Amino acid sequence: MDGHSAFPRQAPILRRVSLFRLVDPGDLAAPTIVAAFDSWVDAGSASSTAAAILADGARRVAAFDGDRLFDYRARRPTLEIADGRLTSLTWPELTVRATQAGGQDLLVLTGGEPDYRWREFADSVVELCLRLGVASWVSLGAIPAAVPHTRPVPILGTASGPDLLRGGVAPGPDGLLRVPGACISVLEMAVAAAGIPAVGYFAQVPHYVSGPYPPAAVALLRALGTHLGVELPMAALEQEARQLRTRLDAAAALEETTRTYVERLESMVDEERLPSGEELIGEIERFLRERGNEGTQRSS
């Protein structure tokens, strides 16, 4: 040793490579960011459908690095084959798009829920929010629940502070729940910790309905519109919801067991009996078992 450190005095500083690429932010005035992912907390594809309607035709502001966030074996790209020739691949995306509603700037963060780097992803989302001057955050989601398709879709709320939820949506349910975390909730907590007011609106989807459930997407758009004080486009979606209601009514009328069960759920709603935490957990457990995921537990 010659008395000098074994390491250079001015070692290069390793900088974290950002997970996102800013495309064209343009001029934004205190935008609200609305986030929804294709994930387990997207029952009936309700929140991703609502987000897709908001983002339709909107310009891309930022894109996240899918190669570092997705497991392509679990969320495979779509391959198109024309006459035996491989023609194109459509890769899963996570994007932020800019639009307006009632003169307000909106940013829509949507895509598949990441498989990897949730905490790093949350840091990048907070960085992006601060760079774009985001004023508030709204999560959209949907969970399976013991609710009937014949009644308005119930909405549960989360909020980083008092008096942030609007339209009569209450935070809940009461008590302490322990459920498998969703990336959307990780982001909501991260932006709230950064000082950005954050809320979440979560539709309850009848657990006995399989496939897309447009009524819940309509309910989420209505809740978001009320929150923002604007009218959001949903006419086509409302038509789909009415058509599904007709089909479900017909199916229930043909099956006595289903009809009896729906009537019991209706009586619970009419008595204004809110689902307990245990009931919600039970439905989520069943939903996740069907998807091959882990169950949940409730802490009293």
Q: For the segment 217-245, what is each residue's pLDDT rounded down to a tens digit?
A: 999 999 999 999 999 989 999 999 999 99
Q: Supply the pLDDT for residue 287.
A: 52
Q: Considering the entire predicted model, what is its pTM?
A: 0.84
Digit-coded pLDDT (tens) for 15-37: 567 899 998 888 899 999 999 99
Predicted pLDDT of residue 269 = 80
For the segment 119-135, what is each residue's pLDDT rounded down to a tens digit? 999 999 999 999 999 99
Average predicted confidence (pLDDT) for the chain: 87
Residue 5: what pLDDT?
Answer: 44
- pLDDT bin (cut points 50, 70, 90) of residue 275 is low
Is the pLDDT at 210 greater than 50, yes or no? yes
Residue with tokens 């969703």: 182
Q: CB burial class (10 A; 0-12, 13-18, 19+) of residue 86?
A: exposed
Tell me the three-class secondary structure of the chain, residue by residue: CCCCCCCCCCCCCCCCCCCEEECCCCCCCCCEEEEEEECCCEHHHHHHHHHHHHHCCCEEEEEECHHHHCCCCCCCCEEEEECCEEEEEECCCEEEEEEEECCEEEEEEEEECCCCCHHHHHHHHHHHHHHCCCCEEEEEEEEEECCCCCCCCCEEEEECCCCCCCCCCCECCCCCEECCCCHHHHHHHHHHHCCCCEEEEEEEEECCCCCCCHHHHHHHHHHHHHHHCCCCCCHHHHHHHHHHHHHHHHHHHHCHHHHHHHHHHHHHHHCCCCCCHHHHHHHHHHHHHHCCCCCCEECC
Residue 266, judged by CB atoms within 10 A of its CB (0-12, 13-18, 19+), counts as middle
Confidence tier at 278 by pLDDT (50, 70, 90)? low
Structure tokens at 43: 């029952």
Q: Quickly tell me which residue has 């760079």 as its tokens.
A: 131
Quick one: average pLDDT of 184-213?
Answer: 96
State both tokens at 130. Answer: 């601060």
Name the pLDDT band for 277 (thresholds 50, 70, 90).
low
Check residue 294 and give its pLDDT.
40
Residue closest to 139 by CA, chosen among 252, 266, 33: 33
Give the pLDDT band (50/70/90) at residue 174: confident
Query: Between these two residues, 84 and 255, which has the higher pLDDT value?
Result: 84
